[in-house]
A and B are shown apart, each in its own frame.
Chain A
Amino acid sequence: MALLSTHDLTAHYGDFQALFGVDIDLNDGETIAIIGANGAGKTTLMRSIAGVLINGRDTVSFNGDAIGNATADAIMAMGVAMVPEGRRLFPSLSVEENLLIGTYGRKNGGHWNLDTVYDLFPILKERRNNPGTALSGGQQQMVAIGRALMSNPRVLLCDEISLGLAPVVIRDIYKAVPKIKEAGASLIVVEQDIGQAMQVADRVYCMMEGRVTLSGTPATLSRDAIHDAYFGAAA
């Protein structure tokens, strides 16, 4: 049985419907990637899973429990952590405080703590007393990831963690993925950069206009199929 899955998930912003019956599965130990154009609903999907958007009870299940109607803090306490789109560091907190706040709702003494996170991203140790927002984009992204790791999650949701980063920085960040998996987390990675997504993911879902239009393993998906699913048609 899947560790985490969604069933017929829908989402609305006011009058506007952003998701139309999305089904995805994440198996234990697996990394899946969600790709799709701007506004396809990837972030909305992440927010629905994380409990920022509340849905029907049975739309999301985690570890056998129906958690669709649980609030974000409860879901986080169960072990689903999110690296939100756009980093979203707390400007009033220093780098170290930003990391520490990650343990607020879940303290379980797993692999990840301040030391191991600093080992993963050594630059953060140097900048630990800076305000989080004084870092470069890539460093900020490292803090956001470290913050989510501090709770030693079972599932880590990463929303466009390479957004706005230089390729070399992206490479650094993605280098951390194997270590994260090693420590026992399964990952859902949202990416616009298809190449990047294909590299890390065991399976890929492609979304368009609030629906999953394609899914499969990277090896079985042709560039053309992705392109179709991505933009609606071939160029």
Chain B
Amino acid sequence: MSDHTTPYAVHTGTKASKIAGVLALILIVVLVALPAFASRSLIQDMFFILTMLVLAQFWNLLAGYGGLVSIGQQAFVGIGAYAMFGVVILAGLDPIPAILLGGVVAVLLAIPTAFFAFRLQGAYFAIGTWVIAEVVRLMTSQWQAVGGGTGTSLPRSATRELMFAEAIESLFGVRSAAARDILSYWLAVILAVATIGGIYWLLRTKRGLALAAVRDNIEAAKSVGVDAGRMKWVVFLVAAFGTGIAGALIYLQKARISPDAAFSVTDWTAYVIFIVVIGGIGTIEGPIVGVLVFFILQSLLADYGTWYLMLLGIIGIIIMLFAPKGLWGLISARTGIELFPVRRRLTGGALDIQKSKTKQSEEAPNG
């Protein structure tokens, strides 16, 4: 402990992350301004990408960081969407505030779900969540006021008089359908930025460290005062909230819902898992890479129906067999790039002395 050194300090950023930060800000500005010059189809594609990204980020938070491999996230997509439809149709609420309510209802569903599912481990947990989602789907299809098993559409009066939609119509001089797309797109941008920002923030707090610690070694984590049980709860509820909001938003844009669609394990969980795993689980970058790959595959190949799906399956298998850390895992192993660094680096103090020592010894032979 010498006094002629700088005091200790902790840094998290890297050079790449600072550049990435600046680029991200530019990207956000571009995303927000996009509707001014982009075609509607691009806006819709972006909406799809952003909402799938949100679902993927939350699933990644659950499975990649929280170790909770759920195959029942479609329950929260569906319940969020149905809650939104319910209050719009039955109580006449405007759909925009109803989206938030979708998230709240998803959390309300998540509480009993967690109470039950947390009693189960590993594969039991996975299957348990799947069954719970099925139960929610079956219950929802008994709810005749929103169409039962048939499903229903948002009343056209509600979609036509959507909050802000008129302002957007006059701002961009577009038809009301296009204005609605722009509005949903903006909401998706907000949701995606908030999700990634929020998860990144969480991972950089001490809770993020605790999550990683629990994942590495749960007994040791408990022994240093980490409440592993509460971490699981927090992660599960946060993921349910975000997933519920995303579900409500997705179905606001679709304007039509049915239990089979809204609670589809394939669309809302299996594809999401694909995205996360193809991109790289346990990183924030992974789902971003994954969703882009997924989107490209879908837009190139979706017209080939069965062949497209077969190819998707094969790609998933190959990545799992040969690159279990996903594409981002490959990229960052090659380049060492981290766009969302969470690692804390201690500097100053005794580390400075050491650094200058090693520097000297490195320089010596040259001199």
Please tell me whether chains A and B touch each other in their complex, using a CB distance cut-off of 8 A: no
Instruction: Name A residues whose Cβ lies closer than 8 Å to a Cβ of B.
Output: none
Instruction: Name B residues whose Cβ lies closer than 8 Å to a Cβ of A.
Output: none
